[in-house]
Amino acid sequence: MKNLLRVAAALALVATLGACAQLQAFQQKVENAYTALSSAQVNYQDVAAGVAAFETLQKVGEAYLRQPTCTASSGPICHDRRATRPMKAAFIAGRQARNDALSYMDAHPCVSGACPLMPNGVYAGLQTAISELQSLYATYKVNSGAQ
């Protein structure tokens, strides 16, 4: 979403300076890139796989956060307290993105076995949440046995 806002800002800037041929060519390139990004589509099987991946990552993270907080005297199984806030934020964002994707699928059901494609913008939030959780899990060594 931030990238789309940047593209829109660039378009606005270019529109105000549109007298120059080079800027008009740049404007066309930006418009073409924006159209390609906003019109990309995802099939429902990929969305279902993304939803399942997010839900699995969320369950792993929730199990990690249920462990006692790491202290100097805690055992080998504990969670880093610094992970709590960013992981919970990623869970919330991911659940919202998952719900948006599922709502889209409910509003645009498959007919006679043929499913419509989902705009990438609807799916992008779920992809972002999955990437964020994977990054957090790598940072805090979630599910690796080392804290």
Lowest mean pLDDT among 70-79, 114-123, 138-147: 138-147
Domain boundaries, the chain: 2-39, 42-139
Cα angle 18-21-27, degrees, rounded to a multiple of 5: 55
pLDDT-based confidence at residue 97 (cuts at 50, 70, 90): very high
For residue 113, the one-letter residue type is G
Q: What pLDDT score was predicted for residue 14?
A: 42
Q: Which phi and psi (to 5°) does residue 73 adopt?
A: -105, 5
Determine the average pLDDT of the residues in 6-33: 51
Cα distances (angstroms) measured from residue 45 to each of 8, 60, 112, 113, 123? 31, 23, 16, 12, 12
Determine the average pLDDT of the residues in 86-92: 96
Burial 111-144 (b: 16+ CB within 10 A, else e): eeeeeeebeebbbbbbbebbebbeebbeebebee
pLDDT-based confidence at residue 20 (cuts at 50, 70, 90): low
26: pLDDT strictly greater than 50: yes
More confident: 38 or 77: 77
pLDDT-based confidence at residue 91 (cuts at 50, 70, 90): very high
Determine the average pLDDT of the residues in 47-52: 92
pLDDT-based confidence at residue 15 (cuts at 50, 70, 90): very low
